[in-house]
Amino acid sequence: MEFTQEHFIALLPLLVTSATAIVVMLAIAWRRNHGMTYVLSAAGLVLALLSILPALQVTPLDVTLLLQLDRFAYFYMALLLLATLVCITLAHAYLGEKSGSEGFPGNREELYLLMVLSTLGGQVLVASQHLAGLFIGLELLSVPVYGLVAYAFFNRRSLEAGIKYMVLSAAGSAFLLFGMALLYAESGSLGFAGIGLSLAAQGSSMLVQAGIGMMLIGLGFKLSLVPFHLWTPDVYEGAPAPISAFLATASKLAVFAVLLRLYQLSPATSGGWLNDSLSLIAIASILIGNLLALNQSNLKRLLGYSSIAHFGYLLVALIASEGLAVEAVGVYLATYVLTSLGAFGVITLMSSPYRGRDADALYEYRGLFWRRPYLTAVLTLMMLSLAGIPLTAGFIGKFYVIATGVQSQQWWLLGALIVGSAIGLYYYLRVMVTLFLLEPGIRRHDAPFDWGQRAGGIMLLAIAVLAFFFGVYPQPLLELVQQAGLAAL
């Protein structure tokens, strides 16, 4: 294949992210400087985000057999880059300005490098139209996260979480790779569209069903769907707060986007027993995720179980696979990412890695309104959005998923969604009530402002404003998602 200027323009977001990783690596080798490393990483991600604009002018375009660069890919790339930009800004506030005995007792700069590399893997993943591209992107996304989860190496919980995530993620990758091999053996193709055409012509054999089942297990691990969810609460709790935010948003966003493209380009891999299996997984994820979140006294674990339920909701739109399905997934993912970043952002700004564990116990947020009213306002809005209350971004996402379920007459799934949402409302409100509890002798004051956390605080306020704005006026988001959805069909 001959590369033209259009190919390089289309690849600009990936090339800029790759260049950012190299520049950050060289800067760390030259001189360790936490502030400079953060600025280089953030500048590179912003440039990658801006490079999407010229890239849109030359797409849709196939770059080799592995990547399909179109509006669908660029929409999820933009979401991924924005989520990573928020996470590294929160990480900068989390790690602090001090080092050595007074601050983070280790090297801080590599965290940004690992996060940029993982983001590059996510970009490859959302543009994949080939099983080889899918696996390369997934591994490049996952391997840096092993180090990120265990980055607070002096904390036993962080090391434990890193080992758990590495072992279970490796097992998921093995299932995924074996499933790909079985599909290739039967269809003779690794391209999503080629697999779909081959299976449509030959029909579905036992080998194909086994291959699809194994791929479903592998992707289920990555998305922490029931019954492959057991690692989620432990890893969320043990990982440093900004890494939990990255894992809950950017990592899962990329995997679900490629699953959606696979579903759209290979219709033969959907329907029949697979739809029944996905329906059972969706119902189990919604109900079990919400029920297990009920008794949680740890905010990170609560958000972990909540994320299991939210990806169960997303499966409802994926199973529908017609009408508003692609649009519903785009809207829901955008609003979920925004809201989860806000919730984990509050935990991040409440925590410090050199004070021991993160401030994730629910009792630590008791009466927070009287100490830090701004953080309370943000967390309250995020809880309302996760619950799907009107005038928040979460309501728009849930509305679209319900509309898709009604359109495709998925009544059992809708019933589970409604029951799960009612259960979720209880524990989200429990968190909100805790924030406003008044303890004897407490005085209302805002904690002293830490200038090292200024960028993180501004980012949190921007997220809160966007969550409210999209809840009141979602039209700009809907137009973006509609354009991305048309490209995927």
- The domain ranges of the chain are 5-488
- How far, in Å, CA of 197 to CA of 189, rounded? 10
Confidence of residue 451 (pLDDT cuts 50, 70, 90): very low
Q: 292 vs 303, 397, 432, 442, CA distance in Å? A: 11, 23, 18, 32
Examine the pLDDT at 489 and tell me if it is beyond 60.
no
Range name among 130-139, 152-161, 176-185 with the lowest pLDDT average: 152-161
Confidence of residue 413 (pLDDT cuts 50, 70, 90): confident
Cis-peptide, bond into residue 227, ω within 30° of zero: yes
Examine the pLDDT at 102 and tell me if it is beyond 60.
no
Examine the pLDDT at 485 and tell me if it is beyond 80.
no
pLDDT of residue 442: 58
Question: Which residues does 167 contact at the CB level (< 8 Å), separation at least 6?
Answer: none
Examine the pLDDT at 452 and tell me if it is beyond 50.
no
Give the mean pLDDT of 194-210: 74
Confidence of residue 101 (pLDDT cuts 50, 70, 90): very low
Give the mean pLDDT of 399-418: 87
pLDDT of residue 10: 87
Confidence of residue 259 (pLDDT cuts 50, 70, 90): confident
Confidence of residue 337 (pLDDT cuts 50, 70, 90): very high
- Rounded to two decimals, what is the model's pTM? 0.90
Examine the pLDDT at 135 and tell me if it is beyond 50.
yes
pLDDT of residue 385: 92
pLDDT of residue 341: 92
- How far, in Å, CA of 456 to CA of 475, rounded? 27
Radius of gyration of the chain (CA): 22
- How far, in Å, CA of 136 to CA of 113, rounded? 18
- How far, in Å, CA of 341 to CA of 335, rounded? 10
Task: For 159, list phi and psi in degrees, rounded to 5.
Answer: -65, -45
Examine the pLDDT at 449 and tell me if it is beyond 50.
no
pLDDT of residue 84: 93
Amino acid at 50: L
pLDDT of residue 353: 61
pLDDT of residue 182: 87
Mean pLDDT score of the chain, rounded to an integer?
A: 85
Give the mean pLDDT of 403-418: 87
